[in-house]
Amino acid sequence: MKNILITGASGGLGKLTSKYFAVNGWSVIATMLDIGLAEDLLDYPNIKCFELDVTSTESIEKAKQNILKEFDTIDVIINNAGLGYRSFVELSEDSKIDTIVNVNLLGVIKVCRAFIPVFRKQNRGMFINITSVAGLVNLPLGNFYHATKKAVESFSECMSYELLDFNVSVCTVQFGNAPTSFQNNVAKCEVSKISSYEDMMCTINGILKKKTSKNKDLTTKIVTKLFDIAENPQKSFRKYTIGFDANFMRYLRRILGYRLFNKLIKYFVLKK
């Protein structure tokens, strides 16, 4: 039986992915910030839950030692833990900027750093780093979220070169707005008295809500694709884009270039 470690497994995509891998014959190491959030994952005999804070080197190391006491090998790690922050630069807060950078970027880096020795020792392994369409294109009010996801894209590709000699593969996975709890938990800046800002926030919130409601089958596509990737690891670095929205935006940006793409977004999204 193969073993997979998934961060951010207490809810949303992480929990769904954990369950899917479990019912399809994998042993799942489900990690989360608070073990009290494990809930129904504990009903699965081949899911083991561990407390792990991706922002804390000490927490990651402690979880790693506990995991290795129960699992001789780890075949795949999905860096799924992440959060959103929708804010104007002017209105952004230090604490929220620090949090999104610590979770979305440094969390991925720290988990990879901790488990590379495990993969290297067993001479095999795979990192699947979840990014987003935000890692491919730049859209309004995505300042901090997009920046972290683009950084994970670059980090992952660079790291992949280092691990070639150890039979360790790296890939990233991008998709659009999936109907999970993620959007409901996105942090937002305080209501502003600047009319331009409020108009833009309302517009973007409305677009994202509408997009999310339309993507009813996207979550299933993501989970099944993650399973397929894990079952068929590729030696070379790969970027997997899932869903119509993400693929459309990726191709549109590539075809138009940044200047025309920017004009298109201003015209159709911001009406400017």
272 residues of the chain, pLDDT tens digit each: 999 999 999 999 999 999 999 999 999 999 999 999 998 999 999 999 999 999 999 999 999 999 999 999 999 999 999 999 999 999 999 999 999 999 999 999 999 999 999 999 999 999 999 999 999 999 999 999 999 999 999 999 999 999 999 999 999 999 988 777 677 778 898 888 899 999 999 999 988 888 777 777 899 999 999 999 999 999 999 999 999 989 999 999 999 998 999 999 998 888 87
Domain ranges of the chain: 3-268
- At 31 the pLDDT is 98
pLDDT digits (tens, 9 = 90+) for 16-28: 999 999 999 999 9
pLDDT score at 211: 76
Euclidean distance between CA atoms 72 and 13, whole angstroms: 26
**What's the confidence (pLDDT) of residue 93?**
96
Going by C-alpha positions, the residue among 26, 7, 128, 103 that lies closest to residue 64 is 7
Beta carbons of 8 and 50 less than 8 angstroms apart: no
Residues in the chain: 272
Q: What pLDDT does 190 receive?
A: 86
Phi, psi of 183 (to 5 degrees): -60, -35
pLDDT of res. 110: 98
pLDDT (tens digit, 9 = 90+) per residue, 234-255? 999 999 999 998 999 999 999 9
Considering the segment(s) 3-268 as one domain, its CATH architecture is 3-Layer(aba) Sandwich (3.40)
Angle, vertex CA 241, rays to CA 200 and CA 188, nearest 5: 25
- Rg of the Cα trace of the chain? 19
Residue at token pair 């593969």? 169
In DSSP terms, 125 is beta-bridged to 168
pLDDT of 176 reads 86
* Helix 57-70 and helix 107-122, axial crossing angle in degrees, nearest 10: 30
* Alpha-carbon span 242 to 266, nearest angstrom: 25
Measured CA to CA, the distance from residue 37 to residue 55 in angstroms comes to 18
User: What is the biggest distance separating any 2 CA atoms in the chain, rounded to whole angstroms?
Assistant: 58
What is the distance in angstroms between the CA of the first residue and the CA of the last residue of the chain?
55
* Tokens read off for 43: 């009903």
Residue 66: predicted pLDDT: 98
Bridge partners of residue 47, in order along the sequence:
28
> What pLDDT is recorded for position 268?
82
Instruction: Look at residues 141, 261, 260 and name the one whose alpha carbon lies nearest to residue 199.
Output: 141
